[in-house]
Every structure is written in structure tokens, then in C-alpha cells.
Amino acid sequence: MKVSEIMTTNVECVTPETTITELAEKMKSLDVGFLAICEADRIKGTVTDRDIVIRGIAGGRDIHSIRTQDIMSKDVHWCFEKDDVKDVARKMREKGVRRMLLLDQNKRLVGVVSIGDIARVEEKESGKTLKDISEAA
């Protein structure tokens, strides 16, 4: 099964200059805890609600001056939308991530897949993936 069959396609991006207040508001309105950071149609990083708390608020800095670029993860993990679900699950295990960005053949963001998405179609793969990610944490 191709990962494009199970991916979430309504992925939204914010810019590196987005304030963390705007970022948190966007996450709330979309009911998500993960966003891609994009600039000029290219992925620059990712950010989670946990990043806002740990890297932003808990750092003791003025939250009105913190930008997404200050707290984002620059090490972006991605696969192609045409990759097999089992291959994506394996890559998630290897990288120790719970979400993977999905790109088209032009390396443009088209979706995201989570370990939960994989669990719905590949019980064995998702269990192995979650076990390995959890052990690495």
C-alpha cells in the first residue's frame, strides 16, 4: 500500500518568522500539534506544540519576541508520497519520529503521515515502529 493512500493532505505551513503566539493559535484552530515550516515553497523545518512549551516558554524568554525559527526542528524527515507504508514505517523507526512529511516528485509538501495513520492499516508495522521510537526516547 502506498503512503499516499493514508496520508493527511490538508497540511498547513507557517513561515520561520511566525510568532509562537500566532503558531499556537494556528495549531488550536486546526486542532493539530505539528506544523511544517516553509519558506518560498520549500520546507525549512517542523514544529510541535511540545517545542513551543520546552524550547519557547520554558526557556524564560519573552514569548512575544520568539519566532518559529527560534524553536523549530531543522532536521526534517520526509519520504515520497509514492513510498510503501512499510518502508515509511521503517524510516520512522530508524529516525525515531512519530510523523513524516510526504513530498511529491518535485519535492513539494503534499501531506503528512503519523504513526496513528500507519496503525490503522499496518498493525504489525505500527507496533514495531512505536516500540522502537519509545525505546529511543
* φ and ψ at residue 6, rounded to 5 degrees: -120, -5
pLDDT at residue 51 is higher than 60: yes
What CATH code is carried by the domain that includes residue 19?
3.10.580.10
Residues 60-110: tens digit of each pLDDT: 888 889 999 999 999 999 999 999 999 999 999 899 898 999 999 998 999
pLDDT at residue 131 is higher than 80: no
Number of structural domains in the chain: 1
pLDDT of the residue at 48: 94
pLDDT at residue 132 is higher than 80: no
pTM for the model: 0.80
Q: For residue 10, how many other CB atoms are within 10 A of its CB? A: 8
pLDDT > 70 fraction of the chain, expressed in percent and rounded:
88
pLDDT of the residue at 129: 59
pLDDT at residue 38 is higher than 90: yes
Q: For residue 50, how many other CB atoms are within 10 A of its CB? A: 11
* Sheet of strand 78-80, all strands in order from the earlier edge strand to the far edge: 78-80, 99-103, 109-114
State the average pLDDT over residues 107-122: 87
Q: What are the angstrom distances between the C-alpha of 16 and each of 6, 36, 45, 48, 132?
A: 28, 10, 8, 13, 31
Q: Identify the band that residue 50 occupies on the pLDDT scale cut at 50, 70 and 90.
A: very high
pLDDT of the residue at 12: 87
